């Protein structure tokens, strides 16, 4: 089941976010950190303030949060036609089941319902081959690369920027 996370999901979100940063450190710009370094009250408040333009979707298998994706739409007048996907992660034990694709498809469906939204962007490291395949399957195209954008354990990582234009909704 896929649904938007809310303030009641704070513990599960903190766990999966910290696990994602520790299990796949070369996939994210954020630094790995233990759960104890996350501010529970701030995270709870942030989750409570999510809306149609700023949300985190979770994929649940039973009561277990198995995967997440974040979405945020620009709010400034000049850039509110754009949005950004962040933090896509599925626990290794749940990979190979199409969960990331389902999360991304649901995110894109929600994005298409936002009036005036024209473009969805994301970034991915060059080492995240499976993620890139999911994004390309959904129509994302590379528009830029930044060599040596990040470094993990002394190794340079190239960041690939991708976007997809949204088709207007019919009917």
| 8 A C-beta contact, residue 102 and residue 49 | no
- Asked if the model's pLDDT at residue 74 lies above 50, the reply is yes
pLDDT-derived band at 169, boundaries 50, 70, 90: very low
Mean per-residue pLDDT, 129-134: 95
Mean per-residue pLDDT, 118-128: 95
Instruction: Note the pLDDT of residue 46.
Output: 94
Tokens of 151: 């470094």
- Asked if the model's pLDDT at residue 69 lies above 70, the reply is yes
Taken in order 56, 32, 90, 149, the sign of the CA dihedral is: positive
Mean pLDDT, the chain, integer: 94
- Asked if the model's pLDDT at residue 36 lies above 50, the reply is yes
pLDDT-derived band at 167, boundaries 50, 70, 90: low
CA distance 49 to 47: 5
Percent of the chain with pLDDT over 90: 90
Question: Which of 97, 131, 104 has the alpha carbon at shortest distance from 24?
Answer: 131
- Concatenated DSSP letters of 83-148: EEEEEEEE-GGGTTSSHHHHHHHHHHHHHHTSTT--EEEEEEETT-HHHHHHHHHTT-EEEEEEEE
**129-137 and 99-112 helices, crossing angle to 10°:** 40
pLDDT-derived band at 37, boundaries 50, 70, 90: confident
Which sequence spans correspond to the domains of the chain?
A: 2-165
At the topology level of CATH, where does 2-165 sit? Aminopeptidase (3.40.630)
* Paired residues of 163 in beta bridges: 121, 141
């Amino acid at each position: 089941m896929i649904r938007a996370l809310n303030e009641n999901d704070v513990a599960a979100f903190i766990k999966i976010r910290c696990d994602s940063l520790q299990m796949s450190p070369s996939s994210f710009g954020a630094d790995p950190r233990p759960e104890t370094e996350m501010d529970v009250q701030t995270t709870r408040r942030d989750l409570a303030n999510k809306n149609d333009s700023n949300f985190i979707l979770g994929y649940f298998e039973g009561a277990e949060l198995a995967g997440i994706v974040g979405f945020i739409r620009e709010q400034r007048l000049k850039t509110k036609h754009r949005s950004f996907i962040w933090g896509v992660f599925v626990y290794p034990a749940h990979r190979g089941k199409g969960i990331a694709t389902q999360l991304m498809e649901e995110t894109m469906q929600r994005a298409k319902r936002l009036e005036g939204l024209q473009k969805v962007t994301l970034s991915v490291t060059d080492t995240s081959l499976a993620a890139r395949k999911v994004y390309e399957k959904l129509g994302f195209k590379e528009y830029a690369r930044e060599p040596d954008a990040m470094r993990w354990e002394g190794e340079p990582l190239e960041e690939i920027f991708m976007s997809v234009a949204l088709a207007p909704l019919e009917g």
